[in-house]
Amino acid sequence: MANPWALSATQLKPLDSAGLLFFALRNARRAAPWWSDEARERCERLCARVLDAARDQPVDAAATRALTRSVLDASAAQVQRATTTEEPLVRATNYAVCALDAAVEAALATERPTRVKAVIHSAKYGASLVLSLAHAGALDEQAPRADAVDRAGDAVWNAIRSDIVLVAQRPAQLDTLHALDALGPLWDGDPRWASPARLRR
């Protein structure tokens, strides 16, 4: 029986090469509310480069990797500085950046198996963001921890799988990040883990 909290290369077969990148971008943008304000502009630039790759536009690999490294380094430093109280939120921010990094690696891959592997990582990091908050007890302090983890895990993986169908059925022209976001909701409803602001309500 397939693991409901995982993706396989077989499950991604409905997606062509560009579709894999659009799907990875959806994973990254589901986590976008967790990007730090300091890194947000750079993260948006990286999303634009993944979109360029999906549209067969040239992407400077060296410059893109350098930009990604600057975002990853800033996130790692933030994790190191975090207090015990801040750690769950900062760790979520780090997973959000890692989901974007995986999308970038998918964009720079030249062979489908390498691209698929990176795309799967983008989904895993996005799911880990939500699950790390659930494990830390940050989502529902009233519910047993295991119940909160199960609900969060099912929700995030359902959202991820829904995107496979959504992207496979995308319109022929998908030229902007706004159009990609508008394909459909990133979440079913308004879960607490959708953004740091939502979590603090």
- How large is the average pLDDT for residues 21-28? 97
Higher-confidence residue: 31 or 144? Answer: 31
Picking from 40-49, 52-61, 71-80, 108-117, which range would have the lowest pLDDT averaged per residue? 71-80
Q: What confidence score (pLDDT) does residue 142 get?
A: 56
Gap between the Cα atoms of 61 and 200, Å rounded? 38
Percent of the chain clearing pLDDT 70 (strictly above):
93
Cβ neighbour number for residue 135 with a 10 Å cutoff: 17
Predicted confidence band of residue 119 (pLDDT cuts 50, 70, 90): very high
What is the C-alpha separation between 105 and 107, in angstroms, rounded?
A: 5
Mean pLDDT score of the chain: 89
Q: What is the pLDDT of residues 171-185, one digit of tens each?
A: 888 889 999 999 999
Q: Which pLDDT does position 191 carry in this prediction?
A: 82
* C-alpha distances out from residue 107 to 11, 22, 140, 192, Å: 19, 10, 36, 30
Band of pLDDT at residue 44, cut at 50, 70 and 90: very high
The amino acid present at 27, given as its one-letter code, is N
List, for residues 146-167, the tens digit of each pLDDT value: 788 888 899 999 999 999 999 9
Q: Where does the chain have alpha helices with state H?
A: 17-30, 40-54, 61-81, 87-108, 112-135, 145-168, 177-181, 196-199
Q: By the 8 A CB rule, do 112 and 26 touch?
A: no
CA torsion 108-41-25-182 (nearest 10°) is -140
Residue 50 is predicted with a pLDDT of 98
Give residue-wise pLDDT tens across range 59-109: 999 999 999 999 998 888 777 776 666 777 888 888 999 999 999 999 999
Output the six-digit token pair for 175: 């030229």
